[in-house]
Amino acid sequence: MSRTATIAVLVVACLLAFSVSAYSTVTATIRAYLYAFPLVLMEKTRQEMLAAGLATNTLNHATVLPSPGNRAVVRPNNDTLYSVAWLDLSLGAQVVSVPSTGKRYYVVPFYDAWTNVFATIGTRSTGNQAGEYAIVGPDWAGEPPKNMKTFRAPTNMVWVIARLQIDGKSDLEPVKSLQQGFRITSLERWQRGERSKAGVIQAMKESADKSRPSVLETVNGMDAQAFFSLFNKLVYAQAPAKSDDPLLDAIRDLGVGPRKEFSPNIFTEFVMNRAFDLVRGELSHVAQESRAGDSGWAVARTSIGRYGTDYRTRAFVALIGLGALPPAEAMYPNAEVDRDGEALTGSNSYRIHFNRNEIPPVSAFWSLTVYDELGFLVENPIGRYAIGDRDDLEFNEDGSLDILLQHSKPASRLSNWLPTPKGKFAVTMRLYLPGQAAIEGHWQPPPIQKSPLREEGVPGGSAH
């Protein structure tokens, strides 16, 4: 073989090796990113909230409903008042005290560092009576109090997001008063007979700088070096599940995992950053996959809140709704397109028509909320960000219901109007304590359909 031919063969071999290596790196990076994303997002969210004034191991009450200025968490609900705590169980076990809530729905979910709901207190799981519950870390070896239900967290980082039902702004004061009965006390102090004072009253702060990036935008802006360097520290401190071992073995050669130092060469880092572009694009399109059978709605009925090794779903839920509840507690149908598959936009008027027998099946309540493309609330002239069964809705004569989604003010049925932004938007339906028909898929959200613009955008007649 001539020298020229030999060189050509070597070049081809090198290109093939390069391609194989790059492909292997891209696929491994995508798997690693999907796995790591929820943990990194949780940590950045924790940092943001603590920087805003929240204290560790202390319950912090939001005394106003979320507004367009709140950008710490995507898709905040406008149905409940939040009480939030970030626990560090390496500092010791904690006792959570809850008051009697009468007939009012509430839930206190506990999320591990990986966004799994490992325990809940509330109407569905423990009832509405007063009670006290111990939360202990994975390595805690103490003796729990007698007759006190104890939950062992898989990680020392725990996010608590209590939700108390609120029936409109006029219901704020009763709920704020009830919030004061929710407390977190260290077990050490509790055993000495001490009890914490009522949680710090703190409205969720709004960013004075509207151009300041949200937590999600910050994470989406991280390159491979920043992202995996942080992840390696977190995964060492917040122990992964045993079932994660195969995935961790598969990405170990990237320098990603517990006790690993992330220091890729220039070529590998370049390829990993390109893989970030691919996986972030993939996450933004995941919702498209489940719409065909749900009239434009993406409806998740399994895995939410307890993901196991379904890392893709876990990452997607973290992206669109960090802190989501399991389906038995709540469901979140989400729509970004209408019944024809076209993007929802404020240049059109829409309606959602519920036949009499299609009203959402729930034991607690249901609502609809409009968000912008990033998942945040948008200012509107009437300050209405959600609408649902606790509102004074106007039903049709046959018992059906039309919800109006449009940017301009309708000529009538203002009580049924949920304002939309001028540009693209998304709609999230929330079903609290959904019925089995919804959980099992026998009930489907009705499609979002365009409405004619006659009578200033008010649709006429009923769709069937």
Q: Which long-range contacts (CB under 8 A, 24 or more apart) does 409-417 make?
A: 409/381, 409/456, 410/455, 410/456, 410/457, 410/458, 411/455, 411/456, 411/457, 411/458, 412/455, 412/458, 413/458, 414/382, 415/391, 416/387, 417/382, 417/384, 417/387
Over residues 309-331, the pLDDT tens digits come to 999 999 999 998 899 999 999 99
Q: What is the pLDDT of residue 54?
A: 87
**Residue 72 DSSP SS3:** coil
Global pTM? 0.87
Interior angle at CA 337, CA 334 and CA 338, nearest 5: 110
Q: Which residue has the higher pLDDT, 169 or 222?
A: 222
CATH 1.10.3360.10 domain span(s) along the chain? 3-48+214-287
d(CA 162, CA 179): 9
**Residue 446 DSSP SS3:** coil
CA 121 to chain CA centroid, Å, is 19
Q: What is the pLDDT of residue 6?
A: 45
d(CA 251, CA 245): 10
pLDDT band at 246 (very low <50, low <70, confident <90, very high): very high
Task: Please name every residue paired with 132 in a beta bridge, in sequence order, or none if there are none.
Answer: 97
CATH 2.60.120.600 domain span(s) along the chain? 291-457
The residue-averaged pLDDT of 28-46 equals 96
Give domain 3-48+214-287's CATH number out of 3.40.50.720, 1.10.3720.10, 1.10.10.10, 1.10.3360.10.
Answer: 1.10.3360.10
Q: What is the pLDDT of residue 76?
A: 86
Question: Is the pLDDT reported for residue 203 higher than 70?
Answer: no
Least confident of 129-143, 165-179, 351-365: 165-179
Over residues 162-190, the pLDDT tens digits come to 999 999 888 999 999 999 999 999 999 99
d(CA 286, CA 464): 30
The residue-averaged pLDDT of 400-420 equals 95
The residue-averaged pLDDT of 149-171 equals 94
Over residues 49-105, the pLDDT tens digits come to 998 888 899 998 988 888 887 777 778 888 999 999 999 999 999 999 999 999 999
CATH 2.60.40.1610 domain span(s) along the chain? 60-201
Question: Is the pLDDT reported for residue 211 higher than 50?
Answer: yes
The residue-averaged pLDDT of 150-170 equals 94
pLDDT band at 463 (very low <50, low <70, confident <90, very high): very low
Side-chain half-sphere exposure of 141, counting CA atoms within 13 A: 1
User: What residue spans of 238-265 are helical by DSSP H?
Assistant: 245-251
Q: Are strands 131-136 and 117-122 parallel, antiparallel or unpaired?
A: unpaired
Pull the structure tokens for residue 393: 């809705």
Give domain 291-457's CATH number out of 2.40.30.170, 3.40.50.150, 2.40.50.140, 2.60.120.600.
Answer: 2.60.120.600
d(CA 258, CA 231): 9
Question: Is the pLDDT reported for residue 14 higher than 80?
Answer: no
Reported CATH class of domain 60-201: mainly beta
pLDDT band at 453 (very low <50, low <70, confident <90, very high): low
Most confident of 59-63, 199-203, 208-212, 232-236: 232-236
Report in angstroms the alpha-carbon separations of 4 from 1, 9, 16, 18, 249. 8, 9, 18, 21, 42
The residue-averaged pLDDT of 369-390 equals 93
Least confident of 2-11, 120-129, 364-373: 2-11
The residue-averaged pLDDT of 431-437 equals 96
The residue-averaged pLDDT of 288-299 equals 65
Q: What is the pLDDT of residue 230?
A: 98
d(CA 39, CA 234): 7
